[in-house]
Amino acid sequence: MALTILGLSGAVGHDPSAALYIDGRLVAAAEEERFLRDKHAKNRMPFEAARFCLAQAGIRPADVDVVAIPYAPISLAGPARWHYAGRYWYAPDRALDAIFNGNRRYRRYRANVVRCLEQLGFDPGKVKIEAVEHHLAHASSAYHCSGFKEKTAILGIDGKGEYATTFFGWGENGRIHKIKEFYDPDSLGGLYGAITEYLGFEMLDGEFKVMGMAPYGDAARYDFSRLATFENGELTVNTDYANVIGFRRYKENGKGYYFSPKLVEWLGPKRQGDVADEPYIHYAASMQALFEKLALEMMDYYLGDIIRETGRIAFAGGCALNVKLNQKIIARPEVRELFVQPAAGDAGTAVGAAAYVSQQMGVPVEKMEHVYLGPAYTNDEVIAACEAHPAKPVWQRIDDTVPRIAKIVADGNPVAWFQGRMEFGPRALGGRSIIGCPSVKGVADRINEQIKFRERWRPFCPSMLDTVGPQMFGTDHPAPFMTFTFEVVEEWKSRVPEVVHQDGTSRAQVLRREFNPRYYDLMKEMERLTGNGVVLNTSLNRRGEPMICSPTDALNMFFGSDLKYLIMEDVLVTKG
């Protein structure tokens, strides 16, 4: 009998997702936002994502042995709820609630899961629901998916789960051992999120933008050390300024933020609009510098001995998507390999919870080698979508897809590239991408202005052949998921300038052919045409929208932008 485990996330009110393991193999995973066309799908359950996973595997609800959820009740006997209550003394309603009714959110979430399962056709009385602590789910998504056989340091940093915000532990022989956790409000992710809000972006979405803005500023111009300290093994966030609740919050037009009026008194008014200007670029640089400093100090303090022993680190939680921190970790001489869960944010906890339960039930899970885990569409389905679309697209089925598209891209045209199964996680990796030629001057600006409608200062990233990665970065550290930045070798800065960021780095996908043969072959053809086996790659979506899932989504986006070319499998759609 096959062991079938469905992971469902959505506990913390954003990024619901579903993942399905059958006998330790991840057969499907997807985020709800892609189906609903609602970025982060806040306060929704992963109904469509779960329905897709079951359909992809060709199984019925009755075939599922366990439903794993990444949120669990937290005992009053441990320190978490008391820490929360003590640190939030100034909001007595919240503090007392943590002590007397501290698992209220878990109970509500579990009830939502049961409702979702009923809608999917499960019999909740018959299916086993296993609750996994949020940070344990993050830890499992990193360690169990890393494929590391040796003893492995495990790091988890995010905003918060039930109460925990940070996890330190190690994995060995498939078992996870917890060393230490920090609890809300002492959260590096929460602090970064609060400054993200102050800089005019949305928390849980704009942190990438702060990181992209930071290289334009000078971290030495402002000292942010008052915001948080790490001393004697404890992280303390200064709740006079950030990670605040209740009446301490700064309010504007009726909306409360996670920073206080005191922060505004110190740094000036909250940033407005799209311009990356002073002093805000320096604030972004200072926040990034403080974040890196504290994260590395914490890692050294709790995990340093393990890292020196084995050189292996597995990292998850929303902060694991901070690629600049990851670059600093990889640069350390004692680090042999860093595995960052590609869906490191809360969407990945569906994978983590399911992987954890599988491991507990004696079925180890396979190494995560790729994230092409979502829906795929046939040429016939693509043609049907074209025929039904109100914009009456001009389309043709072509036989020479790879050379034809490579020529269009090499000529300087951005192309919407829709191929195979949709990616799981926040990065487009050649399934649902907009691609361009990185040696054509101005192609990044064109994509920004005509298609993505996003801030000009945000970097574009490269996908490249596995033969190119070591040449361009001078390292053969694996980079399949765009979870790291690397310093670009001087010669390559002039060869592919459109994918080199302000600070001389690139956030790269280094692809092995076996995981996406068509995308690889496209880059091989680009190498033949331009001399560089590299493409500029950004996600197939417009600003504020989730990544494209279906052919109809792609057509809607195509006609809502200035794109001229869209290739879906072998169907080429063109405009004017």
User: How far apart are alpha carbons 562 and 208 in whole angstroms?
Assistant: 25
Q: Identify the CA nearest to 28 among candidates 318, 350, 340.
A: 350
DSSP assignment, residue 161? S
Whether a cis peptide bond, with omega within 30° of 0, leads into 279 is yes
Considering the domain architecture, whether residues 437 and 530 belong to the same structural domain is answered as yes
Q: Is residue 174 in a domain? A: no
Q: Is residue 26 in a domain? A: yes
Half-sphere exposure of 473 (CA within 13 A, CB side): 30
pLDDT tens for residues 241-266? Answer: 999 999 999 999 999 999 999 999 99
Q: Is residue 151 in a domain? A: no
Contacting residues for 348 by C-beta, under 8 A, at least 6 apart: 9, 17, 138, 141, 316, 341, 342, 425
pLDDT tens for residues 9-34? Answer: 998 889 999 999 999 999 999 999 99
Q: Is residue 153 in a domain? A: no
Contacting residues for 319 by C-beta, under 8 A, at least 6 apart: 157, 158, 188, 189, 192, 291, 295, 325, 344
Q: Is residue 367 in a domain? A: no
Backbone angles phi, psi at 128, to 5 degrees: -85, 130
For the chain, the domain total comes to 3
DSSP assignment, residue 42? T
Considering the domain architecture, whether residues 111 and 188 belong to the same structural domain is answered as no
Considering the domain architecture, whether residues 276 and 333 belong to the same structural domain is answered as yes
User: How far apart are alpha carbons 512 and 149 in whole angstroms?
Assistant: 22
Q: At what angle do helices 551-559 and 379-388 cross, to 10 degrees?
A: 50
What's the average model confidence in pLDDT over 503-523?
Answer: 97
Considering the domain architecture, whether residues 354 and 310 belong to the same structural domain is answered as no
pLDDT-above-70 percentage for the chain: 99
Instruction: Give the pLDDT confidence score for residue 433 in this predicted structure.
Output: 98
- Counting beta carbons within 10 angstroms of the beta carbon of residue 512, is it exposed (0 to 12), middle (13 to 18) or buried (19 or more)? middle
Q: Which domain holds residue 88?
A: 4-146+344-360
User: How far apart are alpha carbons 140 and 357 in whole angstroms?
Assistant: 9
Considering the domain architecture, whether residues 133 and 203 belong to the same structural domain is answered as no
Mapped to the 3 state alphabet, what secondary structure does 105-152 carry?
HHHHHHHHHHHHHHHHCCCCCCCEEEECCHHHHHHHHHHHHHCCCCCE
Q: Identify the CA nearest to 154 among candidates 298, 313, 309, 300.
A: 313
Report yes or no: 421 and 376 within 8 Å, Cβ to Cβ.
Answer: yes
Residue 395: beta bridge partners?
Answer: 573
Considering the domain architecture, whether residues 122 and 198 belong to the same structural domain is answered as no
> Final residue of a domain: which of 331, 360, 389?
360
Considering the domain architecture, whether residues 493 and 457 belong to the same structural domain is answered as yes
Q: Is residue 459 in a domain? A: yes
pLDDT tens for residues 341-379? Answer: 999 999 999 999 999 999 999 999 999 999 999 999 999
Considering the domain architecture, whether residues 187 and 330 belong to the same structural domain is answered as yes
Considering the domain architecture, whether residues 331 and 422 belong to the same structural domain is answered as no
Report yes or no: 179 and 245 within 8 Å, Cβ to Cβ.
Answer: no
- How many CB atoms are located within 10 Å of the residue 342 CB? 26
Q: Is residue 170 in a domain? A: no
pLDDT of residue 198 exceeding 70 = yes
Whichever domain contains 419, its CATH number is 3.90.870.20
- Total-model pTM: 0.97
- How many CB atoms are located within 10 Å of the residue 110 CB? 18
Considering the domain architecture, whether residues 456 and 499 belong to the same structural domain is answered as yes
Q: At what angle do helices 280-310 and 323-331 cross, to 10 degrees?
A: 40
Instruction: Give the pLDDT confidence score for residue 204 in this predicted structure.
Output: 84
What's the average model confidence in pLDDT over 291-307?
Answer: 98
Q: Is 54 left (phi over 0), alpha (psi -120 to 50) or beta?
A: alpha
pLDDT tens for residues 28-86? Answer: 999 999 999 999 999 999 999 999 999 999 999 999 999 999 999 999 999 999 999 99
More confident position, 449 or 352 = 352
What's the average model confidence in pLDDT over 536-554?
Answer: 95
Report yes or no: 198 and 259 within 8 Å, Cβ to Cβ.
Answer: yes
- The two tokens of residue 333 are 């001489």
Whichever domain contains 101, its CATH number is 3.30.420.40
User: How far apart are alpha carbons 154 and 141 in whole angstroms?
Assistant: 10
Report yes or no: 510 and 337 within 8 Å, Cβ to Cβ.
Answer: no
Considering the domain architecture, whether residues 235 and 205 belong to the same structural domain is answered as yes
Considering the domain architecture, whether residues 207 and 301 belong to the same structural domain is answered as yes
Instruction: Give the pLDDT confidence score for residue 1 in this predicted structure.
Output: 75
Instruction: Give the pLDDT confidence score for residue 458 in this predicted structure.
Output: 75
Q: Is residue 206 in a domain? A: yes
User: How far apart are alpha carbons 306 and 152 in whole angstroms?
Assistant: 7
Q: Identify the CA nearest to 288 among candidates 315, 323, 260.
A: 323
